[in-house]
Amino acid sequence: MINGRDPRRTGAMLAALLAAVAAQAQDVHKCTVNGAVTYQSTPCPAGDVVLPTAPTPSDQETRQARADQNRLRFEAATGRIYRRTTQNPPAPAKPLNNCEKLNRDSADAVDRRDQLRAPSELASHAEMLQKAESEVARLQQLATAGNCRLTH
């Protein structure tokens, strides 16, 4: 015995651990023989179905699992519950296709034009209305050129 440990026992435990790791990487074959379903590590004589091996966790998943385990140990030891103060960032918005963007821009331009059609005493009102109408016309031309149907 060295340092209170039996080298044979340690070797046996190491061999068992390695065998368990090696067993995880083997393919599993699902065989049907005379109506009975069996699972084995060797290929079936006929009608073989190979079941995929379980995926190994990514580095990110491993780090997260360790962090969760440490957090749970801390909570168990202290009786305090850890609460995250940061929130997950929002998922990136799906980019709009050209027709969706044209529809959104056109709706905004039509709303602006309709607001400017109301009577006003400002000297620059007629000029702003003219710009709004030309913007609506430009967006309609872009939609026609891009085979887009405006929804308003």
Please say if the pLDDT value at position 2 is more than 60.
no
Confidence of residue 12 (pLDDT cuts 50, 70, 90): low
Write the pLDDT tens digit of every residue in 75-128: 888 877 766 666 666 676 665 567 888 888 888 888 888 888 877 777 677 788
Q: How many CB atoms lie within 10 A of CB 69?
A: 10
Q: What is the mean pLDDT of residues 14-32?
A: 62
**CA 87, CA 74: separation in Å to the nearest integer?**
21
Confidence of residue 1 (pLDDT cuts 50, 70, 90): very low
Q: What is the mean pLDDT of residues 9-37?
A: 65
Write the pLDDT tens digit of every residue in 38-61: 888 787 776 666 666 677 888 888
Backbone angles phi, psi at 5, to 5 degrees: -120, 140
**CA 107, CA 99: separation in Å to the nearest integer?**
12
Query: How far are the Cα atoms of 40, 47, 54, 56 from residue 34, in angstroms, in the given order?
Result: 16, 12, 28, 34
Query: Any idea where the domains of the chain sit in the sequence?
Result: 98-145
What is the percent of the chain with per-residue pLDDT over 70, rounded to a whole number?
Answer: 65
- The answer to whether the CB of 27 falls within 8 A of the CB of 53 is yes
Please say if the pLDDT value at position 62 is more than 70.
yes
- Residue among 32, 149, 30, 24 at smallest CA distance from 97: 149
